[in-house]
Structure 1
Amino acid sequence: MNRLHRLLVAAVALTAACAATTEPVEADQWQAAAADDTVVVDPTAHLTDGQIGFLREVAARTWRLLSGPGVDPVTSLPLASVLLAGDPANTVELAPATPDQQYTNPSLIGNYLTAIVAAKDLGLETSDKAQAEAAAVLAQIQKLAKYDGFLFRWYSTTTGQAIESPRGRPIKNGYVSTVDNGWLAQGMLTAAQAFPALAGGFQALLDAMRWDFLYNATENVLYNGYQVGQGYSDSTYDNLYSGPRIADYLAIGSGKVPGALWWGLARTPPADHRQRQVPEGLNRTYTDPQDGKQYTIFEGHYVYDRIKFVPTFNGSLYQALAPAMVVPEQAIAPQSLGMNNRNTALAHGAYGQLGARTPVWGWSAATSPTGAQRYTNYGATELAINQGEVPDDVTTPSAAFLALPIIPEPAFANITQLIAKFPLIYNQYGLLDAVEARTGTLAPRFMAIGQTAIMMAVDNAVNHDRLQGYFAASPYAKPLFPYLSMERYSIHGLVGPG
């Protein structure tokens, strides 16, 4: 038995032991956990040494993929996905990257930088090695084609050339995606704080990003993006509680967009808006810390299993929780965003038992395990704003991991249940992207967006939310944090009698 096989056997044994001693949370316990104002601000204190050791092993395997087969050795750019060469197994073979996989985008580049920092924090790389890896990414970003300091949506990982689509030709007039550049900016900001020797290079790139260019001052929101040669997208980012809030954070933090952007974002859509529930709540008026004006906000909520929460569009945990991996929402906004992160994660757990009726929970966009294996929007259907089709038949491990720093004990129980129920989802490179929970069918590939999310979540879970500290220590925190700390959402307590 070789060393790798011994590690696999030991990890599976530990997982089985954890699953045997940590039962999934019962439905009424989800309610109980949401009944008071307690928000976890130090997840590490809620995990045992054995659980922390297991999570570190997961991170080590995940980093083995991200830092090896998951990155192009020439450009140092992360690949969007890595396919298996055969069926899922305890030890898998990877397929060589084809042109269909040799692309990346700004979100992946930014999150890969953050994963490098997490690898340093977790002791998976020495500080010098991690800095060298971040420096290689920095050098490549400096060479990539840009528009007003922003990256375009897609790039070839083999040449670094901007391309028109993931499998497309070189672009003539590219598209600037606001949310993708938000995730890029957070990665550069995190790396600048973690590696002071590189701060000047990253800061120059951050300074060049003209967030005012993407700001719709008339509606007080950010545009979804800008198509060079054609103009702004028709859509804007109107909802606060979604993954694109990372771009709002960076725009306000940069000082190039007024903080009043905060009040242009809806907590829930208006009651007359087409949506899955009619939100309840109340109006509150706040005084803006920058311009001194008063803004009245409808702080609405949805309800599931008596738990009140501000919803995401597709009932996605990535949209809900990913920004909280790098911005300390639990500590800075415990009465609003931090509590909503908790309630959303708890509602996902309750939905797994009462709605989807699956043995595990955690829904986000992921690879379909069947058919053409397309990347598909999955969500907790009844928790979504979207009245259209929101399938809940596929669970993604990265969503389960994102809940770890938010609700550590039930999230860890869910993760161990996931691996115990579907053991071939876990191999020497970490966890495959998705599982069809009712049939056990696994998606035979890894997605960089999910792998980087797992690295972020584990770093926070085992290192006292250390990853969040880099943003908190940056100059972007001072203009932003007063907005995060002001509000008290209408999500406190439970709805109705027990």
Structure 2
Amino acid sequence: MRKAVLSCVLSTALVATPAAHAHADAPQRHDGRFSAADLATMRRYAADTWRSMRAMVDPRTGVPADKVTGDLRTRARVTSPTNIAAYVWSTLVARDLHLIGGSEAVLRIGRVLTALEKMTRDTPTGQYYNWYDPATLELVRVWPDNGDQVKPFASSVDNAWLAAALMMLREATPAHAARADRLARSMNFAAYYDAAARPDAGTGLLRGGFWPDRPDGCSIETDYAGTGVKVYSTCHTYGAPAETRIATYVGIALGQLPREHYFGIYRTFPDSGCDWAWQEQKPVGSWKRYLGVNVWQGTYGYRGMRYVPNWGGSMFEELMPDLVVPEAAWAPKSWGRNHPVFVRAQIEHGLAEAKYGYWGFSPSNDPHGGYREYGVDPLGMDAAGYTSDKERTGTDPGYEGCRPAQPEPASYGDGVVTPHAAFLALPYAGRRALDNLAALKRNFDSYGRGGFYDAVAVRSGVVSTYHLALDQGMVMAALGNVLARDNLRRYFGGAEVEARLRPVMELEEWDVVDTTTDRG
């Protein structure tokens, strides 16, 4: 089973369409202008990637599968809310890049909305469950690959990605705006909110999700947002600034979560004796106050850079929400500073430290089998971390006074690079991202009729010849934002969303810095 990547802390802790107008204050984030040849290359990538997205769609229901084989012939027999969201915004990108016509986009999105209106979901909260059969829209209760039992589970993050896609439709497709708005507003994200998760800060955090029936393993019996209906919630809440923040954005934008919750999420865990010494490294920072919430404004260090880490050190944790929410424009002194440094650190690791010759580390299909979390260990808060190679070569800089440092690795093993990570970096290192992708395409059997395959083990040359809806959806979103003038950010960031979300995000300032010289 491909598992959702959870960034968590335990409870203890082309040509634009006529409507395409860029944010007036959106910064130019790519490193230099793209040439005509670059633009043509990216349009070709988009056309091929759309072919794989289209191949994932089940003709009986109009919704995508979780993945498809590289020959575009065999679809997975499961899908998720995030997969459906990725297909919805990919359809918008395909329309805006004139890969399909407007009437076809309306038809495709209409079929998705009809499916969503039929699918079983949690009645009190309107939340969808994690796995459905794309051919029948029925809940998956037995995993088709191995016969394991699947208990219905509602994920805060998966539902947030779906809600974000529906919120885009309010701006992007007038023909479906009312239907999409009804579905989005029917999803209650307050059901995940644990108001007591940060008593030290006076605000709460979001739980990972809930089961309607008691699962095996750890769960907490909770009340659905004061409705009196009991469910079984995850024992963790999301406390790290990873891709899970999309649920925070959506909940605040829909008026369902307090603004203060945004500042309840840790930037790093505090520097307070050895209480937090299990985190990757000792942070440097100071306390600041926003909307009455005390925030430890900490940063980590890596090879001349200071940055706010995410949970595992992966690219999609850092940059997937940036595909939808205009973080660099709305949070120019926090996320707008952090994203280019984080991208630079991934490049530094791949080229200068591990010396793979390639970069871009993020959860993906594993070329050696299954699905696995890849990242750059020092860029994540989790001491165990996501690693960049099959061998799980990690680092431990220690924690002064609490945990001794360990020797740096003498070498790294079979690094696993995923193309979607380079696409995510396009706004912040455009020339280097395109060069990296060109090298992957040239030097490995990594590209097919449906675009880039999911991952490459760069020393053994083994390639995962699958296309995943999530990862191809990130590719389409990144290309749409470059070639169609931030189209997805504009669609999500309508007037109502901007009025609620931007004033919160723009308050914060992070002490992020990059003093490196180019060693790549």
Q: Residues 490, 152 of structure 1: CA spacing in aligned structure 2 closer, same or farther, 3 A cutoff?
A: same
Residue 326 of structure 1 and its aligned partner are, at CA, apart by 0.8
Residue 476 of structure 1 and its aligned partner are, at CA, apart by 2.2
Q: Residues 169, 132 of structure 1: CA spacing in aligned structure 2 closer, same or farther, 3 A cutoff?
A: farther
Structure 1 residue 110 and structure 2 residue 97: aligned?
Answer: no
Structure 1 residue 124 and structure 2 residue 145: aligned?
Answer: no
Match of 1:397 in 2: 419
The answer on whether the counterparts of 1:163 and 1:170 sit within 8 Å (CA) in structure 2 is no
Q: Secondary structure at the match of 1:344?
A: helix
Match of 2:466 in 1: 445
The answer on whether the counterparts of 1:43 and 1:460 sit within 8 Å (CA) in structure 2 is no
Match of 1:225 in 2: 209
Q: Residues 165, 320 of structure 1: CA spacing in aligned structure 2 closer, same or farther, 3 A cutoff?
A: farther
Q: Secondary structure at the match of 2:306?
A: strand
Decide which structure has greater helix share: 1
- Identity among equivalent positions (%) equals 29
Q: Secondary structure at the match of 1:475?
A: helix
Match of 2:397 in 1: none
Structure 1 residue 164 and structure 2 residue 141: aligned?
Answer: yes
The answer on whether the counterparts of 1:327 and 1:468 sit within 8 Å (CA) in structure 2 is yes
Q: Which of the residues 373, 376, 382 maps onto 1:380?
A: 376
Distance in 1 of aligned mates of 2:300 and 2:441: 31
Amino acid at match of 2:86: N
Distance in 2 of aligned mates of 1:56 and 1:40: 22
Match of 2:119 in 1: 144
Match of 1:19 in 2: none
Q: What are the within-5 Å matches in structure 2 for residues 255-266 of structure 1?
A: 255-266=255-266
What TM-score do you get using the length of structure 2 for normalisation?
A: 0.80
Distance in 1 of aligned mates of 2:104 and 2:360: 33
Residue 54 of structure 1 and its aligned partner are, at CA, apart by 0.4
Structure 1 residue 74 and structure 2 residue 60: aligned?
Answer: yes
Residue 137 of structure 1 and its aligned partner are, at CA, apart by 0.5
The answer on whether the counterparts of 1:363 and 1:396 sit within 8 Å (CA) in structure 2 is yes
The answer on whether the counterparts of 2:264 and 2:293 sit within 8 Å (CA) in structure 1 is no
Q: CA RMSD in A?
A: 2.1
Q: Secondary structure at the match of 1:96?
A: coil
Amino acid at match of 2:38: Q
The answer on whether the counterparts of 1:43 and 1:461 sit within 8 Å (CA) in structure 2 is no
The answer on whether the counterparts of 1:43 and 1:465 sit within 8 Å (CA) in structure 2 is no
Q: Secondary structure at the match of 1:486?
A: coil
Distance in 2 of aligned mates of 1:188 and 1:237: 23
Distance in 2 of aligned mates of 1:418 and 1:284: 43
Amino acid at match of 1:302: Y
Distance in 1 of aligned mates of 2:457 and 2:38: 26
Distance in 2 of aligned mates of 1:425 and 1:179: 30
Residue 41 of structure 1 and its aligned partner are, at CA, apart by 3.2
Distance in 1 of aligned mates of 2:280 and 2:151: 37
Unaligned runs of 5+ in 1: 1-38, 85-92, 289-293
The answer on whether the counterparts of 1:144 and 1:161 sit within 8 Å (CA) in structure 2 is yes
Residue 43 of structure 1 and its aligned partner are, at CA, apart by 4.2
Judge which range, 478-487 or 384-393, deviates more: 384-393
Match of 2:356 in 1: 358
Amino acid at match of 1:227: W
Q: Residues 306, 389 of structure 1: CA spacing in aligned structure 2 closer, same or farther, 3 A cutoff?
A: closer
Q: Secondary structure at the match of 1:278?
A: coil
Distance in 1 of aligned mates of 2:484 and 2:30: 8
Residue 356 of structure 1 and its aligned partner are, at CA, apart by 2.3
Structure 1 residue 483 and structure 2 residue 508: aligned?
Answer: no
Q: Which of the residues 293, 302, 307 maps onto 2:305?
A: 307
Q: Which of the residues 369, 376, 385 maps onto 2:367?
A: 369
Match of 1:466 in 2: 487
Match of 2:220 in 1: none
Structure 1 residue 418 and structure 2 residue 440: aligned?
Answer: yes
Unaligned runs of 5+ in 2: 1-25, 198-203, 215-231, 389-414
Structure 1 residue 59 and structure 2 residue 64: aligned?
Answer: no
Note the alpha carbon deviations across 1:114-133, whole angstroms, 9 max, x for none.
Answer: 11111111111111111111
Judge which range, 412-421 or 159-168, deviates more: 159-168
Q: Secondary structure at the match of 1:180?
A: helix
Match of 2:327 in 1: 329
The answer on whether the counterparts of 1:245 and 1:323 sit within 8 Å (CA) in structure 2 is yes
Distance in 2 of aligned mates of 1:345 and 1:441: 25
Q: Secondary structure at the match of 2:132?
A: strand
Q: Secondary structure at the match of 1:217?
A: strand
Q: Secondary structure at the match of 1:155?
A: coil
Distance in 2 of aligned mates of 1:119 and 1:110: 14
Amino acid at match of 1:384: G
Match of 1:22 in 2: none
Judge which range, 406-415 or 298-307, deviates more: 406-415
Q: Secondary structure at the match of 2:294?
A: strand
Amino acid at match of 2:156: T
Distance in 2 of aligned mates of 1:365 and 1:159: 28
The answer on whether the counterparts of 2:78 and 2:133 sit within 8 Å (CA) in structure 1 is yes
What TM-score do you get using the length of structure 1 for normalisation?
A: 0.84
Structure 1 residue 492 and structure 2 residue 490: aligned?
Answer: no
Q: Secondary structure at the match of 1:252?
A: helix
Match of 1:342 in 2: 340
